[in-house]
Chain A
Amino acid sequence: MKHYYASAQIIANLLKWILLVSLLAVALLPLLWLLVSSLRTNLELQTNPFGWPEKLQWVNYAKALAMASLPRLLLNSVVVAASAVILNSIVTAMASFILSRERFRGRDVLYTVFTAGVLVPVISFMVPYFSFITKSGLYNTLLALVLVYTAVNIPVSIFLVTAFMKSIPRELEEASVIDGCGFFKRFSVIILPLSRSGLVTAATFCFIYSWNEFLMAMLLTSSIESRTIQLGIKFFTSQFITDYASMYAAVIITIIPSIVGYVFLHDKIIGGLTAGGVKG
């Protein structure tokens, strides 16, 4: 039927796969290179940037973990990210419940204001954040980072969770009211359990942000006691100055939580992005 187009089709097909495979390489090769480099010796790294390790150097990981600060920095990151995720989930679940299930004047304005927060570049707030955090005595504390990460994620979380809660059929709630459920019961027994999936999506975005965030952590903390792992691999790698292999091992350790999380939750992440994109 389409004989004339046959060769053009083959070429188009070829070009298509060249593009798809090159993008695959661009997405994966940096990470693979990092992984392979973390298992080589420094001598191997110096003589040839590529190549497989002669013998897998797991000792690099032992050396990285033995670095004075790494376990502490990892612990700080876990505490900060977990606290921010929990706090963000609680406050946005409460607010989204009101914004999606209650009817009152000004509700849509309030929703618009909260979600418009995504349009504001948070990096333009470096001066007020620094001055405010310092004045309130929170400078160089994990709490400062927990509050900033919780707050910065509010617009995205409100958007995702409110949209999800809106999709719950009203009949379910009305039935519960007839059964005598009050305000708090409607929230905790009906809406909250049904919104679990939306909350997990929001929490995933909040975790990724909090685990990876760099600028605010740099701005608002100054010592190992309250710094996160991202600052650790940026600034404390001076300890590794001649030991690149161990430094790469340390970096791999810091990205494992993100990769593991992504493997399990990528459907939620992709679903969350889609919710925002299609509606524009």
Chain B
Amino acid sequence: MQAVGTQRSRVWGARVLFLLPVSILFFFFFIYPFLFTIYTSFTSWRGIGSMKFNGLANYTKLLGDPTFRKALGNNVIWALSQGFIQVPLACLVAMILVRKPHFWRSLRTIYYLPNVISTVALAMVWVAIYNVEGPLNAILGALFGAEKRNWLGNPDTALFAVIFQTVIYIGYFMIILLASAMNIPRSLYEAAEIDGASTFQQELNITLPMLRGSLITTMTLAMAYGMRHFESTFLMTGGGPAYATTTMGIDLYLKMDALRYSEASTAGVFLILMGTVVITVLRKIFGSSDPMSEMAQ
């Protein structure tokens, strides 16, 4: 780019001009809020008036708050179930689809469909499905003669019910895993075939190790999403009954709604922190080098 280099200052002016809109938006909606959240978490502030520094008071208060502790525990359950049930299931489906059974393209497209539908709409459907007089009880009653349950209204079943419905979003992780499974060289399987390895052995000794990198990626994503879960639970139960399904995000919202702004900010700091913990811990356990990323280069 010799020709461009001669008009240095004009080019720099143009570069800055082109980066400016994104930088301004990024500053106001990512950097400033990030600093603001951390700052207000060390103050007592109720949305109006001055911010008084009060050290770690919000942190000790929040950690002693049974509602927040319940929320934190629920988020951990969310993260584990997403990472260790949702992702392995998605991986199993990807391993089936990569062998291109009939209709695999259509299946891939349909499995992802719920991810583009609004959570509000789907939450409404699930509330109806879980209703005492709803389809789920009707099916279970017809098949097993099971008693009718109030799935979302009972503290014993509510958390299970709100987590179970996430199975409809499995297509997201499946597509990522399927894409990298498709990148595995066919020659590896052909060689294994010649050596007499069964399909099961091939999956175990070729597919899974080759998917390692994408599995770590999807598990990290899934667990980070579990930590920041808000929407479908808020819409289905509002965090109830008796806080049985509350999450840090819901707790943050309710504290803010009660004008406890700096406590809400502190919950926000925990949300960011727990996401970071998930990412660092998974990196520490599994390391970041993997065959896939080497292949991608």
A239 at the interface (CB under 8 A from B): no
* A-B CB contact pairs (8 Å), 24 listed: A19-B93, A27-B110, A31-B125, A33-B125, A34-B125, A95-B18, A95-B19, A95-B23, A97-B18, A98-B18, A117-B26, A121-B271, A123-B252, A126-B253, A127-B40, A127-B252, A148-B29, A177-B3, A212-B119, A233-B124, A234-B120, A251-B120, A270-B109, A278-B292
Residue interface mask B213-244, A partner, CB < 8 A = 1: 11011100000100110110011000000000
Q: 19 additional contacts, CB 8 Å, given A20-B93, A219-B253, A277-B180?
A: A24-B111, A30-B125, A49-B133, A49-B135, A120-B275, A126-B253, A126-B268, A127-B252, A127-B265, A130-B256, A132-B32, A154-B26, A183-B14, A215-B230, A234-B235, A273-B179, A277-B176, A277-B179, A278-B180
Residues of A within 8 Å of B112, CB to CB, are: 266, 269-270
A124 at the interface (CB under 8 A from B): yes
Of B22, B176, B214, B276, the contact of A91 (CB 8 Å cutoff): B22
Chain B nearest CB: distance from A155 CB in Å?
8
A262→B113 CA distance, assembly (Å): 7
Contacts known (A27-B110, A34-B125, A132-B28); A278 close to B33, Cβ less than 8 A? no
Residues of A within 8 Å of B10, CB to CB, are: 183
Chain A nearest CB: distance from B264 CB in Å?
5
Binds A, one of B55-63, B65-73, B152-160, B165-173: B165-173
A42→B19 CA distance, assembly (Å): 55
B218–A277 contact, CB under 8 A?
Answer: yes
Q: Which of A88-110 contact B (CB under 8 A)?
A: 90-92, 94-95, 97-99, 102-104, 110
A121–B110 contact, CB under 8 A?
Answer: no
A14 at the interface (CB under 8 A from B): no
Q: Chain B: interface residue count, which band?
A: 35 or more
A95–B21 contact, CB under 8 A?
Answer: yes
Of B25, B36, B110, B118, the contact of A147 (CB 8 Å cutoff): B25
Of A23, A33, A279, the contact of B93 (CB 8 Å cutoff): A23
B138 at the interface (CB under 8 A from A): yes
Residues of B within 8 Å of A130, CB to CB, are: 256
A278–B268 contact, CB under 8 A?
Answer: no
Residues of B bordering A, CB below 8 Å:
1, 3-4, 10-11, 14-15, 18-19, 21-23, 25-26, 28-30, 32-34, 36-37, 40, 47, 92-93, 96, 101, 107-114, 116-122, 124-126, 128-129, 131, 133-135, 138, 167-168, 170-172, 175-177, 179-180, 183, 198-199, 213-214, 216-218, 224, 227-228, 230-231, 234-235, 249, 252-253, 256, 261, 264-265, 267-269, 271-272, 275-276, 279, 290, 292-293, 296
B249–A266 contact, CB under 8 A?
Answer: no
A194 at the interface (CB under 8 A from B): no
Contacts known (A120-B34, A280-B213); A92 close to B168, Cβ less than 8 A? no
Of B36, B40, B138, the contact of A50 (CB 8 Å cutoff): B138
A238 at the interface (CB under 8 A from B): no
Of B26, B175, B183, the contact of A270 (CB 8 Å cutoff): B175
B117–A255 contact, CB under 8 A?
Answer: yes
Contacts known (A127-B40, A212-B118); A23 close to B111, Cβ less than 8 A? yes
